[in-house]
Amino acid sequence: MNANDGSATKIADLQDRWSSDSGGQKRPTSVDGLALCAGLTVARFSASDLLLDVDGGATLEQARDAAAANGAYFPLLAAPGDRSIAVLASTHPLFVDGFVSHVDAIDLQGRDVSTPAAPRSAQGPDLLGALLCRPPLALCARARIRCASMTTMSMFHVQTQSADEAAAAVLHLVREAHAFSVWAQGTVVTLIAKEIPKALRPMAADDVAFGVPAAAMGGAMLSPFHLAPMVAALEEGAGIAAAPQMGRVSRTTAATSSPLVTAVDAAEAIHAGLVQGAQESQW
Amino acid sequence: MLENVAPPSTDAIAQSDRPLDRRMVAHDLWPRRNLERREGEPPRLPARVFWPETTDEVSAVVRAAKATQTPIVPFGAGSGVCNGIAPTARTWMLDVKRMGALIRVDEHASECVVEAGMIGERLERALNAHGYTLGHFPSSIYCSTVGGWVAARSAGQLSSHYGKIEDMVLGIEAVDGNGDRIVANIDDPKTGPGLLRLLIGSEGALCVFTRVRLRIHPMPTHHWLRAFQFESLDRALSTMQALMQMGECPSVIRLYDPLDTIIAGALEPTPDAPDRILAGAISQARQEYSGPVQEDDDGFVDDVVRRIEQLAIFQRPKTTRRVVGQLLSRPLIANAALDRMGSQSKLVLGFEGSGDALADRVGGIRRKVIALGGMDAGPDKGEQWLLHRHRVSYKMARTFAVGGWVDTMEVALGWEGVLPLYHGVKDALRDVTLTMCHFSHAYPDGCSLYFTFAGGGTAGSGTRSARARYDLAWERAMLTCRRHGANVSHHHGMGRSKAKAQPRTGGEAAILNALKQRLDPANILNPGVIGLGESA
């Protein structure tokens, strides 16, 4: 774990408490247990790789501020700033699948679990999503998050006339794969990119009511090039988040808290999910 | 046929225990196996090969294997290079190539569903007939299957735009070690991307893939290719990094190190050559030349021989060839000579899209690359890459024929560590191999380094033998990668050769072992691969 000294000590303490049967502290049973980590902050920003190392207990606001202080955009454009990175990771699969490149986590038995370092690998199954998403297998102690440079990219807003047009704009951006991050709500599409595609009409930033809906905390993945589910999401008042360079799209849902589970329980749940998936699929 | 070996439930499934059939699936293309074959060591044959045609037939074979505690290994086209296929004499092989159909193309969703045994090039042509491309072009596309790509987390030559195979997979249908059909879909909240990612890359240790759901793209109408030369590798890498971090996402971005650049031949400045935007996608251009090797095509050794002859060191090809074979056993001398031959590096860039969109973009990109230190070498040298883009998989035999060996290693690291890792690996192998490298899968946060190393050695198993040198080269290379914090595999998978170098520990081992125990409780699925389950 590449934690700085203060963080490393705190995480080690946390790990000791979780792994000790006789410890005075109760073992956390959900990612809300990450409140134990509150106060840990941003550890490192790599200007070369545009990667932000941030503790799981840090809030989104802290992470955004840290990225901005280093001249970079934090990838997720809309999510409540008071939530921790660990909570966000447990409820928002697009954040994990599209923007987290590496994680150091601690499982319920107090064991370290680290995923391969950036950028990409073929070192067997990728544990990233299974570790952090529902039901989480481990607490996110440190996440390495992909950011974009403010010197080469900017934030743009696009006004469309309808949900259909907004969804079509998202689809266009995901297919082109140039934009770093996209957020659509109603008829407005916001993107971080080098430039705005010719096909899209920009609007002044002052005109944009760029709120942060509470519902933005939860997410469900969509088929990335399928327009109809995107239109439906926007018409239902949901937001759409996308990671075009990874070809990932999701819609917002209500966030639900999930209990942490052990590896054995998780394996049972995973198997049940896969078998149920087979029973319900149209293959 | 040994009628009494196979359980009754598999009788209706095509199968064979004939030696030739078993020989065809006995191992993958791990180069160390070539050394063993060259020295007359026979391959270890599995007990039987099955050719299932449906998911139900795969289930039946797995259930029969579980009932008899028989190891079972899924087999696609056998083009893996990490010893992922290593059957024992008891093993049943499950060759899935008869499951090779494109099931459906959903044009509304830009998706397709394909059987796992379909050869990649056949899939691409079938999609092209619908006006689509998968965008996945590994050099093994003529001899690898969709299931194999997903099993080993493959990457294609246009990955910087289209992504790796795990980015393309939207769903998987498979059979687990209980014989149960399982399905994971990215847009199913019960499974989602998390469980999908657990199956991808499992190399037959957790399940047998039967069908794959993939995202597809409308076929681009035009492409543009161009080559640039840089005075140093450092500047060329910085240019790659800048292009990726600006979100340019070129379809082709390939940087060759000085040795690779020398072998490919010098570039001439052509600053006045106009941009050439050609009709068709990159994948379709010069397709008539892009397949398996022609009779007169060069291999690694031939390339070196040709360059030495051009330098007029030797004028007789047979002599040169013999000298090159000997140089492979004395790489210190060869490396010292090659180090003096230049520091220039070649970058090939390619973009796809509509003609109008490309006309808007490429001039600015060319100027940007020149501003970053690139010398414009024009479109011809860029388009020349197309001629050889799929041939590397077929060019290794001649190196083995002159008494040497050759292998490749694809690793990945963040940009700040790329150059130190490059020099670290070259230095670590200096007295063992001739080593060159290209950089062909780039991301905003780093890239893959693709090393090709060639060595020599005597027959047998002594310290100067080819096998010992091969093992020493890999041991040093893996150690260097781990010291630099690199991922030891970017797209070849782990098999057994790399799994040995990167053992799983702590929570990762606990989670994967628990999953293996649940999905494959009898430990019959490719035991030992990627470090999961005890070897049979």
- What is the ipTM score, two decimals? 0.91
Secondary structure of residue B105 in the 3-state scheme: strand
What residue in B sits closest to A49 (Cα-Cα)? B445
Say whether A130 and B486 touch across the interface (CB within 8 A): no
Whether B3 shows a pLDDT value over 80: the answer reads no
Q: What percentage of chain A's residues is helix, strand, coil (to nearest 5)? A: 35, 25, 40
For residue B434, which of B535, B308, B273, B266 has the smallest C-alpha distance? Answer: B308
Q: Which of B186, B249, B514 lies closest to A267 in CB terms?
A: B514
Interface of A with B in 28-67 (CB under 8 A): 46, 48-51
pLDDT given for residue A269 in this prediction: 87
Q: Which residue has the higher pLDDT, B395 or B444?
A: B444
Per-residue model confidence (pLDDT) at position A5: 42
Q: Dihedrals φ, ψ of A27, to 5°? A: -65, 130
- Whether residues B490 and A277 touch (CB distance < 8 A) is answered with no
Q: What are the angstrom distances between the C-alpha of B142 and each of B122, B139, B268, B343, B385?
A: 8, 8, 33, 34, 18
Which residue of chain A has the CA closest to B198?
A125
**What is the per-residue pLDDT across A72-111, written as a single tens digit (0 to 9) for each?**
999 988 877 888 888 888 888 999 999 999 998 888 777 8
Percentage of residues in chain A with pLDDT exceeding 90?
48
Residues 69-88, chain B: which have Cβ within 8 Å of A?
Answer: none
pLDDT tens figures, B478-530: 999 999 999 999 999 999 999 988 888 888 999 999 999 999 999 999 999 99
pLDDT at A20 over 60: no
The predicted structure's pLDDT at residue A1: 36
pLDDT tops 60 at residue B391: yes
Greater pLDDT, A213 or A117? A117
Residue that wins the pLDDT comparison between B210 and A43: B210
Is B508 close to A127, i.e. CB distance below 8 A?
yes
Mean per-residue pLDDT, B405-429: 97
Q: Do B359 and B278 contact (CB within 8 A), yes or no?
A: no
pLDDT digits (tens, 9 = 90+) for B285-305: 766 666 565 555 555 556 665
Average pLDDT over residues A233-261: 89
Peptide bond into A244 cis (omega under 30): no
Tens digit of each residue's pLDDT (9 = 90 or more) over B419-466 = 999 999 999 999 999 999 999 999 999 999 999 999 999 999 899 999
* pLDDT, tens only, B478-491: 999 999 999 999 99
pLDDT at A36 over 50: no
CB contact under 8 A, B494 and A124: yes
Using an 8 Å CB-CB cutoff, list chain A residues near B416.
46, 48-49
Closest to B445 (Cβ–Cβ): which among A93, A106, A118?
A118
The mean pLDDT value of chain A amounts to 82
**Which of B198, B415, B443 has the CB atom closest to A130's CB atom?**
B198
> Using a CB-CB distance cutoff of 8 angstroms, which residues of chain B are in contact with residue A73?
none
Is the pLDDT confidence value at A144 over 60? Answer: yes
The pLDDT of residue B338 is: 83
Chain B nearest-CA residue for A219: B189
Q: What's the mean pLDDT when you consider all of chain B?
A: 90
| B493 shares contact with chain A (CB less than 8 Å) | yes
B518 → closest Cβ in A153, A175, A267: A267
Which of residues B330 and A46 earns the better pLDDT score?
A46
pLDDT of residue A12: 59
- Min Cα distance B514 → chain A (Å) is 5
CB contact under 8 A, A130 and B184: no
B72 touches B21 (CB < 8 A): no
| Whole-number Å distance between alpha carbons of B269 and B414 | 31
**Is B162 strand, coil or helix?**
helix
What does the alpha-carbon distance between residue B444 and residue A4 come to, in Å, rounded to a whole number?
A: 25
Inter-chain residue contact A113 with B518, CB threshold 8 Å: no
At CB < 8 A and 24+ separation, what contacts does B51-56 make? B51/B13, B51/B14, B51/B15, B51/B95, B51/B97, B51/B98, B52/B13, B52/B14, B52/B94, B52/B96, B52/B98, B52/B99, B53/B13, B53/B14, B53/B98, B53/B99, B54/B99, B55/B99, B55/B173, B55/B175, B55/B181, B55/B210, B55/B211
Residue type, A242: A
Q: Which of B29, B18, B41 is nearest to B461 (CA)?
A: B41
Residue B535 confidence (pLDDT): 76
Q: How confident is the model over B355-362, as a mean pLDDT? A: 93
